[in-house]
Amino acid sequence: MATTLRPSQVRVHLARQRWRLRLVWAGLSVGALGLAVRLVYLQGVQAEWFRERAAAQQKALIRQASPRRTVVDSQGTVLALDQPVYELYAHPRLFKQPMPQIAQALAPILGRPVAALTQELQRAPSGIILARGLLPGVAQEIERLHLDGLELVGGFARVYPQQGVGAELVGYVNREHRGQAGVELSQEALLRQPQIPALLQRDGRGHYQSATVPTSWLLDDPRQLRLTLDVRLQRGAQSALRQSLQKFQAQRGAVIVLRVKDGAIRALVLEPGYDPNEFYRFPLERFKNWAVTDLYEPGSTFKPVNVAIALESQRVRPDQVFYDEGRIFVGGWPIQNFNFDQAGAGGSLSVSEILEQSSNVGMVHIMAQLPRRDYYQALRRLGLGDELSTDLPFTSPTSLKSETEFVNYPVEAATAAFGQGLALTPLKLAQLYAAIGNGGWLVSPHAVAGLWHPQTKELTPLHQPPRVRVFSQATCDAVIPMLERVVERGTGKPARIPGYRLGGKTGTAQKAGVGGYRSGKITSFVALFPVPRPEYVVLAVADEPQAGNAFGSTVTAPVVKAVIERLITLDGLPPSRK
């Protein structure tokens, strides 16, 4: 039987329903208002913060990891290149396996004891570097372990395939991958390719989207830094120099082969040298290119330069004769020939004979024909007293007395006549001989040919300082035959090569020290080849040879001969005569 509600009960029931309905609507209204306020807060107040967080998750500013340019010699032989390598970092707080288990897995790959690795992993909760310079194959082995908490960071390592051959010019890079010597230092701006930053997009898993990679990253720049060096000649010169230094027990030595027309360095050897792959194993003095940095008094090898100065002044004729007393006094100071005690006076000598016999007294008489101020200015025009312009680092300015001293004290000009009282580097002396060989032009010695594109075979040369004329062609044409006679009939006989003509000059100089000259000597020989139109200057220097018969003719002239014979083979040069 159905229950019948009284009217009063109906009214109460309807009132309750209306109250509930109002309560629901009030809740919905408050909720909607809250959502609206929250939406305004999120899209207004916190909008910038959310945009930054979203950008941080979706995008990343990445710099392209660019290797240093490859360095090659004049024939394309690789001298230096970058190789991909990895650094291995450990973050123990992220390990999901026990630490000994991880050490056990890494030990055979890294070639390290398990105990040592375990101890290393206990040093810090994160950021422990376990290995550097890992090759890609080793890195792949580590990745295949799928161990959490290990991080491989990619980079590049510099490799020098020729080891110590050419290190004098190439140099090396430190652990931060920055050049420390040679062209690695002087051409740092060219070798370090620009790292182009780009904002890359990530997908939901954090992987970078290839569509957002800039096209500039996809365009490879294959250009290489090409040197004027010829590794084949460098290796031959190194061998010849090393044998001579060992034979005469010299402290160190150098060989320079310079192309006379433009100053291109085809070889520059220093012994003892170093391996740039393991530079940290060698003493610091090995890294210095002392053919560019260290000054020495050239002695008799400077005499041909002085003869050129004298002839250029037109105060001395090539056929002029001077009397060699064997020993003279200038400003109260004695000056004599090296063989005065045995030979006495040299007698009447032509300019050529003075060079042949390397007469100090004869050179003093030749240079005395010039006013000392004119002589000094001629030396300055040759760049003495200035820094040599070259693309190799750490060049030293040549040393020359002040003009006041040179002009007011006759002995200064007299000693300069036979290569004492002034100092220069071996490379500067080679430059001066190149000026005689190329018709009188002072060129800038350089080791960098330019940027070479291996596919298009195009070379973009680097800018070289303009050459400067310092001698006339007539002066050079007069000096070169004199140098040839030095080799044919004088102290340069050990450098003779059957069928080929060359000119040169020996030198055995004292070593200047504080307050005067000290024990020890420097022997050298400089040659122009071939005569009568030279293409190369070849210079060899040996510092403090210890054996008894140590002179420029015995220590360094044979080295120059061996280097020229190597040049003949490499360039296919025909004989000058039967």
- Cβ–Cβ < 8 Å for 257, 534: no
Give dist(CA 46, CA 39) in Å, integer: 10
- Cβ–Cβ < 8 Å for 226, 449: yes
- Active-site residue among 244, 300, 358, 553? 300
Which amino acid, one-letter code, is at 283? Answer: P
DSSP code of 353? H
Give dist(CA 39, CA 388) in Å, integer: 73
Strands 265-271 and 252-259: antiparallel
Q: Find all residues with CB under 8 Å of 435, minimum gap 6, and list them.
A: 382, 441, 442, 443, 470, 471, 476
Q: Find all residues with CB under 8 Å of 459, minimum gap 6, and list them.
A: 226, 449, 450, 451, 452, 453
Q: Write the DSSP assignment of 5-25 as a string of letters.
A: --HHHHHHHHHHHHHHHHHHH
Tell me which H or E stretch contains 546: none
CA nearest neighbour of 428 among 263, 242, 235, 238:
263
Strands 327-330 and 224-227: unpaired
And the tokens for 220? 């490879």
Give dist(CA 117, CA 95) in Å, integer: 14
**Cα distance from N-terminal residue to C-terminal residue, the chain:** 147
Give dist(CA 469, CA 69) in Å, integer: 36
Give dist(CA 514, CA 502) in Å, integer: 38
Query: What values do phi and psi take at 117, rounded to 5?
Result: -65, -40
519 is catalytic: no
The residue assigned the tokens 């001066």 is 432
Tell me which H or E stretch contains 406: helix 403-408
- Cβ–Cβ < 8 Å for 207, 62: no
Give, in order, the Cα–Cα distances in Å from 530 to each of 10, 96, 147, 350, 497. Answer: 131, 74, 67, 24, 11
CB atoms within 10 A of CB 570: 14
**Which of the residues are catalytic?**
300
